[in-house]
Structures are given as structure tokens and as C-alpha cells.
Amino acid sequence: MAKHNLKAKSKDLFEKAKNVIPGGVNSPVRAFTPYPFFVEAAQGSKLLSVDGKTYLDYCMAYGALLLGHANKNVCYAVEEQLSKGTIYGAPTELEIKVASQISKILPCIEMLRTVNSGTEATMHALRVARGFTGRKKIVKFEGCFHGAHDSVLVSAGSGATTFGTPTSLGIPEETTRNTIVLPYNNIEALEKIVKQEGNEIAAVIIEPVMGNIGLILPKKEYLNSLRKLTREYGIVLIFDEIITGFRLSLGGAQEYYNIKPDMTTLGKVLGGGFPIAVFGGKKEIMRHISPVGKVYQAGTFNGNPVSLKAASTILQILNENGKEIYPKLEKNCQELKKALSDLASNHHLEAQVYSIASMFQIFFTPQPVHDYASAKHSDTQKFQAYFQELLRQGIFIPPSQFETCFVSVAHDEGDLKYTINAFDNALRLASTVNRNV
């Protein structure tokens, strides 16, 4: 990446952006104090800002990049597709190829549709589940984020927690009346509801590993019990694997935990930096979609050939090299997690550090974090000090306690070493912050 002399352009750009874009950003999580850096270019594990500063990136576009920025194979494949056209409004063989690649990796997905974002994928999955069962109610879990559409924007994680607006204005209460919100990792709460209202519930949607409230892992047997209960009551179980798909393992969380959901949503890693997401599942459910069925789902950019080409390339790379890639990612992530835990205790910080595969996060709280309520106990002032100091040292993690950090294939030994040293300084600083209650 080219070296520039340090400038202060981001600040000016942010001022200009605020005049034409709400809050100066196109997605709320990108805003942080005093102003976000604006990006000039990115390559591998690093981002270069317009100010000429290089950042080692553990945000990785909120988990969209498993191979790192601007992967050469993906870029070549996309360039080749660009010369053949960018959108056709008619089917291509590429659509069948990608659907088949996905079904092979995730056998629970017998049929799928491709859309452009995770938000669309979960929105349509829920509609199909409702159409299939003829039931209205859905269950989601506190702190899980399934995109910014009406029926799931209730007690949502990510920016909706960071900014203290768990329910957005502009959503009529009639829309969310059929959304039941339960605590994560609490099978008794689900059991109680399905006993009372099970035959009115169309779907249970869940992030099998929570990545939008920090990182929260499922308790042993929780997902199995969830599967058993939903099957018993004929409720469609939707695994929202927008983050965990192709990340926890090649076959995502469903492979990692050996659970077969009825429907799955995928996005982020799948596109290798291009906008694509899918929702899919059992044929008996997916056959309810128009034009063969009565559930309407459509989109001008569905099955976009450029995104599909990127997805097809990523899937091929992961399929051929997964046996080396996933253990290496896990090993590197473990190294960061161990360093964070050891350093936190060296600095006498009460903290919980979690990791799985290539995801990790620290919570500044003495108690284990297993759901939304326990995550909210975390000291966000300490987190801010930790974030700001890492940023100063040229390390970019998601700016909120209620997000997750991601390791990519592009992070090398030198990157890890630099990061661990930076963790030491950032945690030292965090340990000096006293919470204002």
C-alpha cells in the first residue's frame, strides 16, 4: 500500500458528509467520536485512510471479508465478469452454479434465492416461513440482529443497541405485535412460550452464535434443545448465519454444532466484499415462493452476475483450501484471545474474553456474558478508551462494545505481534478509566 504524508482530510470530509448524508455515514455503526476516518484504499489486512494513516483491520467490513481486502482471485474473477456485462434481467448458469456450490457445502439448503443484503434475506425467510405455516407470530432473541427491517427491529443488537434505540421510530406497533422477544441461552423461556402459543408461531429466528452484541456463545445443548422444541411444534427454525456462514467452519454454525435448521440465511463472507445474500432451506418450504408458490419475493438485482462471480470464486477457494484456512484462523484468533485475557488480568481489569473460530471480543465486566442483559453490564467507557487507544496505534476494531472483531486469512504473524503489543497499551489505558454511573 502506498505511503502518504499524514493529512487531516477525514475531519473535513466528515463535516461535508454530515450535510448530505444523515449523521455523515451510510450505516450508523460507522460513526464514532470524534469522527470516523475516511478510506482511500484497502489491501489484505490493512486499510489506508485519506489522511495517509494505515490501520490494521479487525472490523473486516463487519465480518464480510474472510480472505482480507481486495483478494486477487476474487478481483480477477469479477473483472472477467465485468467485461461480459453487469446485469441481465434474465437467468444465467452462474446462478445454478452458486446455488449448487452452496447446497453441497450446506446440505440443509436444498433450494435458495439470492438477494443483495442480509436484511433482505431474513425478511424474505420470515415471509416464506409465515406463508408455509400459515401462522403469524415469530420468535427472536434479545440482542440478535437480523437486519434493519420492521418485524425484527425489536430488541436488536448492533447499532440498535449501541445507540440506545432498541425499537426504531417509524415502525407501527401493529407490525411488531407478532414478534415475540425472548432471552438468548434460556431454553425454559422458549419452552414456556411454545407451550402457550406454539401453534401460532411460524418461525424462530436466531443467530446461532451472537455476533451483534459483542460475541456470545450458545450454552451447551441450547441449540439442540431449540431444534427439538421447534420440530415438536412444527415451527420453522431459521439459522441466521449472515455472520457465521463460511466463518465458523466451511458449513457455518450448523456444521460446527451439527444442527439441521429448516431455513438458513447467508451473506457477508459469501460475497467476498460484493453485495449478495441468500435465504434457503428445505424444498417443501422454498416451493412456496412465486412463481410456483404464493409467497411473493422479487428483486431487480437478485442473482446479480458480478456478485455471483465473486461468491462462486470465494466458495471455490474455501472448498479447496478450507482444511488449512479454518484451523489457521482459529489458531490466530486463539492467540489474540489468550493475549487479551492475560493482559487484562495483568492490568487488573475485570474482563471476559470470548472467541470462536475467527471471531473475538472483550467485555469489561466481572460476570460471564451469556445474553443481552449480561452484555449490557459491560463498562462501555472502558471499551471506548480501549478502542480509541487501539485506533491511535493504527488498529481498527469495530467502534462499539456491541460488535465483534474478525480475524482474516490476510492477518500474518507480524500483524498479530503488533496487535498484542497494542492491546497491552490499550488495556493499560482502559484500566485507568473509572465508570461514571
Residues that bind ligand PLP (CB under 6 A): 62, 117-119, 122, 145-147, 158, 207, 211-212, 240, 242-243, 267, 277
Q: Which is nearer to ligand PLP, 275 or 322 (CB)?
A: 275
Query: Whole-angstrom Cα distance, residue 354 to residue 24?
Result: 32
Shortest CB 375 distance to ligand PLP, Å: 15
The C-alpha cell that represents 426 in the structure block: 490499550
Query: Whole-angstrom Cα distance, residue 74 to residue 309?
Result: 8
Q: Which is nearer to ligand PLP, 277 or 339 (CB)?
A: 277
Shortest CB 124 distance to ligand PLP, Å: 12
Q: Which residue is nearest to ligand PLP (CB)?
A: 118
Q: Which is nearer to ligand PLP, 10 or 408 (CB)?
A: 408
3-state SS of 173-223 is HHHHCCEEEECCCCHHHHHHHHHHHHHHEEEEEECCCECCCCCECCCCCHH
Shortest CB 8 distance to ligand PLP, Å: 30
Query: Whole-angstrom Cα distance, residue 209 to residue 40?
Result: 33
Burial of 22 (0-12, 13-18, 19+ CB in 10 A): exposed
Q: Which is nearer to ligand PLP, 358 or 431 (CB)?
A: 358
114 sits in which H/E element: strand 111-115
- Residue 62 is given by DSSP the state H
Shortest CB 3 distance to ligand PLP, Å: 33
Query: Whole-angstrom Cα distance, residue 217 to residue 211?
Result: 9
Sign of CA dihedral 380, 382, 386, 389: positive
Contact by Cβ (8 Å): 98, 272: no
Q: Which is nearer to ligand PLP, 45 or 158 (CB)?
A: 158
Query: Whole-angstrom Cα distance, residue 57 to residue 54?
Result: 9
The C-alpha cell that represents 101 in the structure block: 456450490
Shortest CB 119 distance to ligand PLP, Å: 3
Q: Which is nearer to ligand PLP, 63 or 198 (CB)?
A: 63
Q: Which is nearer to ligand PLP, 59 or 277 (CB)?
A: 277
Shortest CB 27 distance to ligand PLP, Å: 7
Q: Which is nearer to ligand PLP, 44 or 211 (CB)?
A: 211
Q: Which is nearer to ligand PLP, 117 or 419 (CB)?
A: 117
Shortest CB 332 distance to ligand PLP, Å: 22
User: DSSP string of 68-80?
Assistant: -BT-HHHHHHHHH
Shortest CB 309 distance to ligand PLP, Å: 19
Torsion, Cα of 277, 283, 286, 290 (10° steps): 120
Shortest CB 157 distance to ligand PLP, Å: 8
Q: Which is nearer to ligand PLP, 198 or 272 (CB)?
A: 272
Cα 57 to chain centroid distance, Å, stands at 16
Shortest CB 252 distance to ligand PLP, Å: 11
Q: What is the number of alpha carbons within 13 Å of residue 233 lying toward its C-beta? A: 25
The C-alpha cell that represents 163 in the structure block: 445507540
Contact by Cβ (8 Å): 111, 279: no
The C-alpha cell that represents 315 in the structure block: 466458495
